[in-house]
Amino acid sequence: MDITERHGVGVRQERSPVAGPADQQPEWPDPRRLREVAARLAEAPPLVFPAECDRLRERLGAVARGEALLLQGGDCAETFAGATQESVEGKLRTLLRMAVVLSHGAALPVVKVGRMAGQFAKPRSSPIERRGATELPSYRGDAVNGLGFTARERTPDPERLLRAYETSATTLNLVRALTTGGFADLAQVHEWNRAFVAATPGARRYERVADEITRALAFLRACGGDTRALSTADFHVSHEALLLDYERALTRTDPQTGRTHATSGHLLWVGERTRRPDGPHLAFLAGVANPVAVKLGPTTTSDEVLRYIDLLDPDREPGRLTFVVRMGANRIRDALPLLVAKTASEGARVCWVSDPMHGNTFPSPDGLKTRRLDAITDELRAFVEIHHALGTHPGGAHLELTGEPVTECLGGSDTIASTMLSHRYESACDPRLNPSQALDLAFLLAEHYQRNRREG
């Protein structure tokens, strides 16, 4: 009997024909130990529950219908050492603050999803990293190996999958406690934003929006509105479904309903490097009932998009499938319109979301990977304008960000210059927005939504 079929728990047969081995998988040195770890994970309690996944799927249905926005964000790659209460609170605080601004600008509710509690693995452009004459396996995330450039650190270790599970459980427990325990109170979140606007010289241009939100909250209280629902927040978690040994071991089938869910996270996505339509990653997503997503780079064709829809959303159910667009500010205006128009012509109701981070990465003079906030906002602006022109819904943003005052991206109200990058460059992989830059982005994006709403 397969390890994932014990005690009435099993994995549904993946539905698409699969060609070749899975891409971007580690070369585990001890396959026997990997099987033992997978067996332990298969017996472990689920990290998330089907009802939670189904609730997110319903809310993403509102995004697909143009009735809500999706805000998804967090670390490029989580680390075990970084999964502290302070770090989790910082990321959650940043996303909640952004959501208030976006909801006001678009006059729509915001579905909040973190790149948290599972984003411990990363695809890499090369399996090998070279430093001088030394070659070692590339760092693939804390779920696989360590960041330190030594043979011991870089050797893939299946035991790290267990630690990824345990760290995800701890993070989820903290997120659930915070979002229901007053941390997410709307009045408090807005006061954080008012403090940012008042104290940051470059952010004072957002005073008008902040004042409008203040008046809206005051009006609600004056009318005797029920504000109890404003003291909590619905929050879900997501990660890239990259390590299939981990994902399959945490997949559960309810013997009563026959429905299968990946219980490692509420929303899973397949990245640009693993979105092969006949590959195992897409087949895995096709076999689970979670909401799922596919990242689309600038080389994506309309035929590929239609294949993803047929494979992952054959019933054309709003909320099942999200397309995350990561094309770069200089390519999105040429590449995206055809994909959106083709999808609309097929009657598919997918969520369209912009990832303006990955297509705008470049090396600084010091060799550090960075991004310019101007390029990020330009891609987001283009994303909104393209959908507005086509009469479709720009469903939101997928961002790499942190709650720490890092110096990894250039620009913003912080006016971070290239000479400042090394001051607090702490990412384990790609550069992230700090809280100030993330709020800059939220205010600017809210203005675009507000403008298009008035013109529409």
The pLDDT assigned to 350 comes to 98
Residue 228 has pLDDT above 80, yes or no: no
**What pLDDT band is residue 318 in, cutting at 50, 70 and 90?**
very high
Closest CA to 18 of 366, 278, 192, 379: 278
Q: What is the pLDDT of residues 18-63, one digit of tens each?
A: 667 899 999 999 999 999 999 999 999 999 999 999 999 999 999 9
Are 196 and 439 contacting, i.e. CB atoms less than 8 angstroms apart? yes
Mean pLDDT on 319-330: 98
pLDDT for res 8: 37
Which pLDDT belongs to residue 68? 97
> According to the model, what pLDDT value does residue 208 have?
87
Residues shown for the chain: 456
Question: pLDDT tens, 60-93?
Answer: 999 999 999 999 999 999 999 999 999 999 999 9
**When comparing pLDDT for 49 and 4, which is higher?**
49
Residue 67's pLDDT is what? 97
Query: Does pLDDT of 4 surpass 90?
Result: no
Query: What is the pLDDT, as a whole number, of residue 19?
Result: 61
Per-residue pLDDT, 216: 85
- Phi and psi dihedrals of 409, rounded to 5? -115, 155
The predicted-structure confidence for 247-290, as pLDDT tens digits, reads as follows 999 999 988 889 999 999 999 999 999 999 999 999 999 999 99
Mean pLDDT of 334-342: 97
pLDDT at 209: 87
Helix (H) or strand (E) holding 89: helix 85-106
Q: What is the mean pLDDT of the chain?
A: 92
Task: Give me the phi and psi of 329, to 5 degrees please.
Answer: -60, -30
The phi, psi pair for 192, rounded to 5°, reads -60, -40
Residue the block writes with tokens 């099993």:
10
- pLDDT of 181 reads 86
Q: How many CB atoms lie within 10 A of CB 168?
A: 25
pLDDT of 333 higher than 70: yes
Digit-coded pLDDT (tens) for 126-166: 999 999 999 999 999 999 999 999 999 999 999 999 999 99
**Percent of the chain scoring above 90 in pLDDT:** 80
Q: Is the pLDDT confidence value at 336 over 60? A: yes
Condensed to tens digits (0 to 9), the pLDDT of residues 208-224 reads 888 888 888 888 888 87
3-class DSSP state of 237? strand
Spatial distance between the Cα atoms of 304 and 311, rounded to a whole number of angstroms: 10
Question: Is the pLDDT reported for residue 14 higher than 90?
Answer: no
Radius of gyration of the chain (CA): 21
- pLDDT exceeds 60 at position 240: yes
Name the one residue in this structure whose structure tokens are 């319903």.
Answer: 58
pTM score, two decimals? 0.94
Tokens of 222: 């004056």
